[in-house]
């Protein structure tokens, strides 16, 4: 191992008794019994039901919108159109926690004149029942006049292309210029150039957009909603024209997010209707509403030009990336920034040019999705590595070994990650675990592939990210954690509990975690960007340590030793070297209570703060740190039908330190499903911007029949910047999966499919073209 294991904790006596164990998550019993209420499970008396009327063209002028019949239908309480919301827009930018300057990224809440994507909201209806709301939507008369649109980002860059909004279709552009690319290419023995295409992807969380909004006795708009980001209360307040302290988001356990509940979804609609009617309002979103109502993963077109010596050293890399931003900006400028930083992957490239653009089209807007641009880059750089290896006749693993970044070396932006870089260890382990090859039989060809990655964890450092948490001990020795963090299914809340009990020496069943409420839990920031454990985990750890230090100091006096000799575990407090000299934790807490010793602490954890990357060279620090790992697969390809089956799926990641290994494996295995669907079957088909696959019977994600058992190899360098040396696994779990599968398919059939998803049709076509070319 090439990196030193770092000190696992700042407290000498913390020996990781609970962290690192697969404890049953605090949220599990409620979920397996159905007792857990999700945001859509709340009802209130006198509640109204909301439906959204949507445009059925992607590019059009709104000629007439007549809601009079809908308004006069019995049981309809309110109908809102763009005319009712003069000049109101909703911010589509990152919810800033420290007042960062925002891009000019407002979106009309309801269409006023111009429809820019299929499904854009025209009107909101609130009615006594869902049936009445449904009926009222049919009574809305809409006349749309088609306007020429543009549906391909490459087309949208042409000089005569229709402009979606403003003066240019280029909504964001970023560059890296490092070293001397011309000199690097001059030194190369071979130059390999390929263009890779990646598709739209739908998050497909099982819980659609749900919630309930009402105005309370203090004129505060309360919104119970399924969201990854409770800090949206600020843009919501701006959008509806009330002060920030008059919007309260009460989250709930989220039925899946993956980035799809990172932007605003139904919050502004609900808030507007609740304010207008003075009554509680819940959304009635169908699955089709969900498909057309939230942003998708950016499709990318990526051209990689790699200069390489015959012995497999990369001498230069030139990358051109174009991302389809869809009709509104949303998080596109940041998504291409992630792609830019990730462009060369976990490899040393001293001579590097990257040019990344996000381009507007009249497609569905695109925004956050697990992997956030860095995943699309991985899909290209890892396929390119295989193509380079094939071209120079070198083993794929050997080419990677000769170019891997090592611990202490700078990444694309010149920044040296503070943690270990264990890509090679992960790759070797995953590759070896594939074992003996499955024999080919009949029309089935067997192929293997690997992909390695670099993925950030923690938000962009120029956003000056912070996270707060409060930890307190009750008089009976039970522990309370309060933090605004949202739990989107990965066990974010339970992990915080596990950290707190580790530090305080109690057991997980003695902890209650309150989270996800802007009024009663300290703001922890978003559950996005693989940041929740890193940021809020650190905040909880520090808060618990502060409480522990005060308790230990008092215990030391009681037991007649120095505070540094006190240890705490499993509800007992004792002298580290003499565990027989002990007292129950609860007794210590009672003494502290009686003496007024403070048993709680509020902590704000701050990520590193930096400037923007240099706009010309792209050099500087973009993220706090990076995670590394690899995914290996074996596939069979039926050369008659083009069907691909994944036979083995093996993930190896350096997670720094597991908090809960079962949760880590769960993330990895779920990421394998997301990535496999992305590679092979998940396809959003659009016709002139109109989505023609808005259901789970048309948009095909892997089922129990399609997924192999996913094997997890979890390495712990204990070198990360998260609590106890943890890194993050949320996004990394998915990032390398699709290119590993693409490489395995190419290995099986001897020809590459350059566009995902690798459907049977594309496989057959690629083989035909290959045969025709001889």
Q: How far is CA 424 from the centre of its chain?
A: 25
- Give min distance, CB of 109 to other proteins, in A: 26
Which CB sits closer to other proteins, 134 or 553?
134
Count of residues in the chain? 774
Nearer to other proteins (CB atom), residue 257 or residue 312: 257
The alpha carbon of 758 is separated from its chain's Cα centroid by a whole number of angstroms, namely 23
* Residue 121, C-beta contacts closer than 8 angstroms, at least 6 positions apart: 52, 53, 54, 55, 109, 110, 111, 269
3-state secondary structure of 354: strand
The CB-of-499 to other proteins minimum distance in angstroms stands at 18
- The C-alpha atoms of residue 170 and residue 155 are separated, in whole angstroms, by 12
Toward other proteins, which CB reaches closer, 245 or 695? Answer: 695
Q: How far is the CB of 180 from other proteins (least distance, A)?
A: 44
Torsion of CA 25, 30, 32, 34, to 10 degrees: -160
As measured in angstroms, the least distance from the Cβ of 699 to other proteins is 9
Residues at the interface with other proteins (CB under 8 A) = 22, 24-25, 27-38, 40-41, 131, 203-208, 253-258, 286-287, 488-491, 662-663, 665-666, 668-674, 695-697, 701, 703-705, 707, 709-710
In sequence order, which residues have a C-beta less than 8 Å from that of residue 40 and are 6 or more positions away? 207, 208, 210, 211, 212, 226, 282
- By beta-carbon proximity to other proteins, the closer residue of 352 and 668 is 668
Which of these, 353, 457, 448, 338, lies nearest to 722 by C-alpha position? 457
- What's the closest the beta carbon of residue 495 comes to other proteins, in angstroms? 12
Nearer to other proteins, 188 or 533 (CB): 533
Considering the complex, state which of residue 203 and residue 623 has its C-beta at the smaller distance from other proteins: 203
Nearer to other proteins, 31 or 390 (CB): 31
Q: At its nearest, how many Å lie between other proteins and the CB of residue 477?
A: 22
Question: 323 pairs with which residues across the strands?
Answer: 300, 358
Minimum CB distance to other proteins, residue 52 (Å)? 16
Least distance to other proteins from the beta carbon of 649, Å? Answer: 8
Whose Cβ is closer to other proteins: residue 259's or residue 333's? 259
d(CA 335, CA 172): 10
| CB of 257 vs other proteins, minimal distance in Å | 8
Expressed in percent and rounded to 5, the helix, strand and coil fractions of the chain are 30, 25, 45
How far apart CA 614 and CA 181 sit, in angstroms, is 18
Number of other CB atoms surrounding residue 98 within 10 Å? 10
Q: How far is the CB of 590 from other proteins (least distance, A)?
A: 29
Q: Mutual orientation of helices 737-749 and 661-680 as an angle, nearest 10°?
A: 50
Instruction: State the nearest-atom distance from the C-beta of 735 to other proteins, in Å.
Output: 15
Phi-psi region of 379 (alpha: psi -120 to 50; beta: other; left: phi over 0): alpha
CA distances from 549 to 2, 14, 207, 417, 573 (A): 34, 12, 42, 31, 12
Compute the CA torsion angle 661, 663, 669, 675 (nearest 10 deg).
-120
The distance of closest approach from Cβ of residue 71 to other proteins in the complex, given in angstroms and rounded to an integer, is 21
Sequential DSSP letters for 487-503: --SS-HHHHHHHHHHHH
What single string gives the DSSP state of each residue in 251-316? ----S--TTTTSS--SHHHHHHHHHHHSS-EEE---HHHHHHHS-BPPPEEEEEEEEE-TTS-EEE
Do residues 176 and 671 touch, judged by C-beta distance below 8 A?
A: no
Nearer of residues 164 and 712 to other proteins, judged by Cβ: 712
Nearest residue (CB) to other proteins, 137 versus 286: 286
- Residue found under tokens 């708009």: 221
Nearer to other proteins, 275 or 710 (CB): 710
Q: Choose between 591 and 707: whose C-beta lies nearer to other proteins.
A: 707
Contact status, residue 592 vs residue 550, Cβ threshold 8 Å = yes
């Amino acid at each position: 191992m090439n990196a030193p294991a770092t000190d696992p904790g700042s407290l000498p006596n913390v020996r990781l008794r609970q962290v690192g164990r697969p404890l049953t998550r605090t949220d599990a019993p409620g979920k397996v019994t159905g007792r857990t209420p999700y945001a859509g499970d709340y009802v209130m008396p006198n509640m109204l039901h909301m439906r959204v009327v949507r445009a059925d063209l992607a590019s059009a002028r709104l000629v007439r919108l007549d809601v009079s019949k809908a308004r006069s239908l019995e049981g309809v309480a309110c109908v809102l159109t763009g005319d009712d919301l003069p000049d109101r827009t909703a911010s589509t930018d990152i919810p800033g926690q420290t007042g960062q300057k925002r891009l000019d990224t407002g979106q009309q809440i309801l269409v006023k004149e111009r429809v820019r994507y299929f499904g854009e909201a025209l009107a909101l209806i609130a009615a006594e029942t869902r049936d009445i709301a449904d009926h009222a939507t049919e009574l809305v008369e809409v006349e749309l006049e088609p306007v020429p649109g543009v549906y391909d980002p490459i087309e949208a860059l042409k000089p005569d292309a229709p402009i979606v909004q403003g003066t240019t279709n280029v909504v964001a552009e970023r560059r890296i210029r490092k070293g001397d690319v011309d000199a690097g290419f001059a030194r190369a023995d071979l130059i390999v150039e390929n263009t890779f295409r990646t598709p739209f992807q739908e998050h497909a969380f099982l819980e659609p957009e749900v919630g309930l909004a009402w105005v309370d006795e203090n004129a505060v708009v309360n919104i119970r909603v399924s969201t990854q980001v409770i800090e949206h209360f600020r843009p919501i307040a701006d959008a509806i024209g009330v002060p920030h302290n008059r919007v309260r988001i009460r989250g709930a356990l989220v039925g899946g997010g993956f980035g799809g509940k990172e932007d605003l979804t139904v919050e502004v609609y609900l808030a507007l209707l609740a304010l207008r009617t003075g009554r509680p309002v819940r959304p009635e979103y169908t699955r089709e509403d969900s498909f057309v109502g939230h942003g998708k993963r950016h499709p990318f077109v990526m051209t990689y030009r790699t200069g390489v010596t015959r012995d497999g050293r990369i001498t230069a890399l030139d990358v051109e990336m174009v991302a389809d931003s869809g009709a509104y900006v949303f998080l596109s400028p940041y998504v291409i920034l992630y792609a830019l930083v990730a462009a060369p992957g976990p490899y040393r490239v001293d001579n590097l040019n990257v040019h990344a653009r996000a381009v507007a089209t009249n497609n569905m807007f695109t925004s956050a999705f697990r992997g956030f641009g860095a995943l699309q880059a991985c899909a290209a750089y890892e396929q390119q590595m295989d193509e380079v290896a094939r071209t120079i006749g070198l083993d794929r693993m050997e080419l990677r070994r000769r170019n891997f970044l090592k611990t202490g070396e700078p990444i694309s932006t010149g920044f040296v990650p503070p943690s270990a870089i264990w890509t090679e260890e992960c790759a070797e382990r995953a590759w070896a675990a594939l074992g003996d090859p499955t024999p080919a039989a009949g029309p089935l060809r067997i192929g293997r592939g690997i992909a390695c990655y670099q993925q950030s964890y923690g938000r962009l450092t120029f956003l000056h990210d912070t996270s707060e948490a409060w930890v307190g001990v009750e008089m009976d020795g039970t522990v309370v954690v309060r933090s605004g963090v949202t739990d989107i299914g990965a066990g974010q809340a339970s992990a915080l509990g596990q950290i707190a009990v580790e530090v305080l020496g109690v057991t997980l069943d003695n902890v209650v975690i309150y989270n996800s409420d802007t009024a009663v839990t300290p703001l922890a920031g978003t559950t996005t960007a693989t940041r929740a454990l890193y940021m809020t985990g650190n905040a909880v750890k520090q808060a618990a340590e502060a409480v522990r230090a005060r308790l230990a100091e008092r215990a030391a006096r009681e037991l007649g030793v120095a505070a540094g000799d006190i240890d705490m575990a499993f509800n007992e407090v004792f002298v580290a070297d003499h565990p027989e000299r002990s007292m129950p934790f609860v007794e210590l807490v009672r003494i502290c209570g009686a003496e007024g010793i403070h048993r709680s602490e509020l902590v704000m954890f701050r990520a590193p703060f930096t400037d923007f990357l240099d706009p010309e060279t792209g050099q500087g620090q973009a993220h706090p740190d990076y995670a590394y790992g690899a995914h290996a697969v074996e596939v069979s390809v039926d050369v008659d039908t083009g069907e691909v089956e994944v036979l083995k799926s093996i993930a190896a990641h350096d997670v720094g330190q597991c908090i809960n290994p079962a949760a880590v494996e769960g993330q990895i295995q779920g990421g394998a499903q997301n990535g496999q669907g992305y590679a092979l079957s998940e396809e959003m088909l659009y016709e002139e911007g109109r989505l023609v696959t808005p259901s789970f019977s048309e948009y095909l994600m892997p089922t129990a029949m399609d997924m192999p058992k996913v094997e997890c190899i979890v390495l712990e360098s204990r070198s990360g910047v998260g609590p106890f040396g943890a890194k993050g696994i949320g996004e990394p779990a998915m990032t390398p999966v699709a290119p590993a599968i693409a490489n395995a398919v190419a290995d099986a059939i001897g020809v590459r499919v350059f566009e995902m998803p690798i459907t049977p049709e594309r496989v057959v076509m690629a083989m035909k073209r290959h045969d025709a070319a001889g």
